[in-house]
Amino acid sequence: MRHIRVGVFPAVQIRRAQRHVVDMQLIRLELIKDLQAVFNMAKGFAQSKDDKMTSKQRQGWVSIMAYTGQVMNSISKSFDESQVTKDLERLEKMINEAMATEKNRATNPAS
């Protein structure tokens, strides 16, 4: 039977936990950077000087900006992976709907 030194395992566990915390911080930072880019894109559409864009379309982009800000705030405070996944899926759906509206407007200028 082998003799296991008891003091070794807690140190390994602490190092793993510290590495996990650092990894989570890096993931948070990357997510926030990506979301900042989404926010800026939505802001660009919302502030566009395009006269063909309806106020409803602008309002959609402003909603995306607001929701993106909420998701960024949530990620910066805590990291609940399942909630972040739901938030990102909802944000992606909002963006896809807004982009489809933009595409329809571009192909059907009379509408």
pLDDT digits (tens, 9 = 90+) for 23-65: 777 888 898 999 999 999 999 999 998 888 899 999 999 999 9
Over residues 84-104, the mean pLDDT reads: 87
**In the structure encoding, which two tokens stand for residue 92, read together?**
């992606």
What's residue 66's pLDDT?
96
CATH number of the 8-107 domain: 1.20.81
Of all helices (H) and strands (E), which one includes residue 34? Answer: helix 8-46
Which range is least confidently modeled, 8-12, 34-38, 84-88, 89-93? 8-12
**Structural domain spans, the chain:** 8-107
Cβ–Cβ < 8 Å for 77, 31: no
Q: What is the pLDDT of residues 55-72, one digit of tens each?
A: 999 999 999 999 999 999
- Written as six digits, the tokens of 26 are 């890096």
